[in-house]
Amino acid sequence: MSDILEQLTLVLEARKAADADSSYVASLHAKGLNKILEKVGEESVETIIAAKDAALSGSKDDVIYETADLWFHTLVMLSHLGLSANDVLTELARRFDLSGLEEKANRTSK
Ligand SMILES: N=c1c2ncn([C@@H]3O[C@H](COP(=O)(O)OP(=O)(O)OP(=O)(O)O)[C@@H](O)[C@H]3O)c2ncn1[C@@H]1O[C@H](COP(=O)(O)O)[C@@H](O)[C@H]1O
């Protein structure tokens, strides 16, 4: 796992027990899963809009910024559910080198 992802995972875990008044992450946990999912949805839309704008303007800075917001909020969602980036990385590693078409054919109904 990249250094920053590893460090952020540790911070997110610690924030589950932090005071909601002094931590944005703790405030999300206190508000609950629906609020976290609302943020994931919001950041998804903002990422899509930034990508569409980048295709028109050629400026990609907002795509990076909004994608970081999206990744961050999905990490909070995973943490809230007792999961972590490592669980997703393990799944990506399992898929590595497997054609997307082949992987899809092997999927059980989900
Ligand atoms: N990477 C991030 C990160 N990315 C985005 N954000 C916050 O996510 C929010 C998203 O932006 P919005 O404009 O949607 O926020 P908002 O309008 O305040 O949100 P709402 O009131 O609409 O819910 C902002 O408050 C950002 O500051 C982050 N907050 C924290 N982190 C990391 O998490 C760590 C722990 O943060 P705290 O829990 O706040 O200490 C930090 O040290 C960082 O490493």
- 52-78 pLDDT, tens digit each: 999 999 889 999 999 999 999 999 999
- ipTM of the complex in this document: 0.91
Residues 6+ apart with CB under 8 A from 5: 85
- Please identify, by atom number, the ligand 1 atom nearest to the C-alpha of residue 26: 38
Give whole-number Cα distances, 104 to 33, 56, 97, in Å. Answer: 29, 32, 13
pLDDT given at position 58: 86
Is residue 65 within 6 Å of ligand 1 at its C-beta? no
Whether residue 97 has pLDDT greater than 90: no
**For 11-24, how does the pLDDT look when each residue is reduced to its tens digit (9 = 90+)?**
999 999 999 999 99
Residue whose CB lies within 8 A of the most ligand 1 atoms, among 16, 24, 39, for a mutation test: 24
